[in-house]
């Protein structure tokens, strides 16, 4: 057993691939292409830039009706959400999704409502 280990160690030292297996630059960085977005990621990023708050709500509304059935309760819930959303849009405008921050919602809660 000991002779096998010694033989393997001598082969490792004489290896032509790396010279001595205990020496060498093992942290060398390979040449790779610079990072770029995949085409589907670029399309997703471009579509997000144009999505507005009301457009997102319309998508959510259609999905909710599809998944939870188009019942009276679902329609009433969505109508309530839409009314609140329209009040927000009247105050702040139909913002792109990237521009909406939690601070906007907190300032909207403090606004007086006429109802």
Q: Tell me whether residue 26 is in a domain.
A: no
pLDDT value at residue 98: 80
Confidence of residue 115 (pLDDT cuts 50, 70, 90): very low
Rounded to a whole number of angstroms, the CA Rg of the chain reads 31
Average pLDDT over residues 66-90: 92
Q: Tell me whether residue 48 is in a domain.
A: no
Q: Tell me whether residue 57 is in a domain.
A: yes
| Number of domain units in the chain | 1
Q: Tell me whether residue 44 is in a domain.
A: no
Between 37-46, 58-67, 93-102, the lowest mean confidence (pLDDT) is in: 37-46
User: What's this model's pTM, rounded to 2 decimal places?
Assistant: 0.52
Higher pLDDT, 111 or 81: 81
Q: Tell me whether residue 93 is in a domain.
A: yes
Question: How wide is the angle at C-alpha 52 spanned by C-alphas 48 and 55, nearest 5°?
Answer: 100
Q: What is the pLDDT of residues 32-42, one digit of tens each?
A: 888 887 888 87
- What domain range is 101 assigned to? 53-110
Q: From residue 57, give the alpha-carbon distance in Å to each of 21, 89, 102, 105, 106.
A: 61, 12, 17, 16, 19
Q: Tell me whether residue 3 is in a domain.
A: no
Q: Tell me whether residue 60 is in a domain.
A: yes
pLDDT value at residue 60: 94
Q: Tell me whether residue 86 is in a domain.
A: yes
């Amino acid at each position: 057993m000991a002779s096998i280990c010694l033989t393997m160690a001598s082969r490792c030292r004489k290896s032509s691939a790396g010279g001595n297996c205990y020496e060498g630059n093992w942290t060398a960085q390979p040449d790779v292409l610079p990072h770029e977005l995949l085409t589907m990621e670029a399309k997703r990023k471009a579509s997000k830039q144009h999505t507005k708050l009301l457009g997102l709500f319309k998508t959510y509304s259609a999905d909710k009706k599809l998944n939870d059935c188009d019942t009276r309760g679902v329609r009433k819930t969505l109508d309530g959400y839409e009314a609140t959303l329209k009040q927000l849009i009247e105050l702040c405008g139909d913002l792109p999704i990237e521009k909406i921050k939690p601070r906007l919602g907190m300032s909207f809660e403090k606004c007086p409502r006429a109802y």
